[in-house]
Structure 1
Amino acid sequence: MQDFYHQVGPCGLAIIILGLGAVYMAVRGLVLSALIKKQAPLPHSVLQGIVEQAQATKSEDRALVINALMQHKLKGIYGAMYFLKLCAALGPLLGLLGTVLGMVEVFATIAERSYPEPSLLAGGIWQALITTVMGLSLAIPALLLHYVLLLTLRRIRAALNLQAAGIKQD
């Protein structure tokens, strides 16, 4: 384990921890959105409650009411979505920081020895490259899953707006 930590450094370890959190939040968000979709036609579902409260308000305020109630009632999905967006932003930054730290290690080795062996430089270069790969490997799927959840919430919001306005859906 200590050898692995030496290879990836603190940034690599942070990326792994962030990645585990991203997997948890993605699964949680996708499961919650699937459950919401599955229960949508039921009369006592979360979505039906939102529609009923929105219908009780003035028509010009319905969109605001629906947005506020969605934020409150579907906070698990919103939380997952925002965490995935955070992971998509932090992953490359942590990868870049790992790259810089790895290159600092390489230059420190060069400064210590006038003619360092390539094997002494390889550790820092390895850390620089692997943390970049790890950061991007976290960011790309996290961003994709963020947008999957975002589009799901947009579809739910559009359906709720139509239903609250009394418009039949196809």
Structure 2
Amino acid sequence: MEDSKKMEICQTNKDNRGNVMLHQTTGSRSYMVFVENIADKYSGHEPDAFDLFKDCHYSKKMKGYTAAVQAAIAQMESKLSTTTESEAPKAVNQVVADVLAEKTRKNQFLRNVGIEVAQPTSSEQNGAVPDLQAENAELRSIINTQHRHIDDLTMKQAELEAKLELVLSQVRRS
């Protein structure tokens, strides 16, 4: 590879690293190994997404968090502490997922630390609550239609096998 091509790749990588807002501080260890190593810290309980986010982004070198991480933590704390009377307390994992979705394009943090968060469907994101009974009825209709098609195909297959057997028996006789 030419030197100019290598320099271009290096510059692109440098630019991409500069775009990272929430730098992790796990070093060369993967998130999962890091989480296993800090398990003793949480001997009394299982750490939630918020605890893991803070641990994975704390800089021992700076003895704190970067400004972007501090802002994300403050936003998470704010969302966790504010609930109205009409709504239930927010799930920690969902709050962390929501804040990270606002801050990053392709957030993989929760998946990398072993936490799966259900993503809202497009209708839920648009504020529409799906009518589950109507959806269930529609799905049942589709399933019934598929069963009828399978039954039809099974009957056709049996007819074809019978015809094939008849032809083969005639060929064997001649």
TM-score range, shorter chain: under 0.3
Looking at secondary structure, tell me which structure has more helix per residue.
Answer: 1
Give the structure-2-normalised TM-score.
0.23
Query: Higher RCO, 1 or 2 (CA under 8 Å, sep at least 6)?
Result: 1
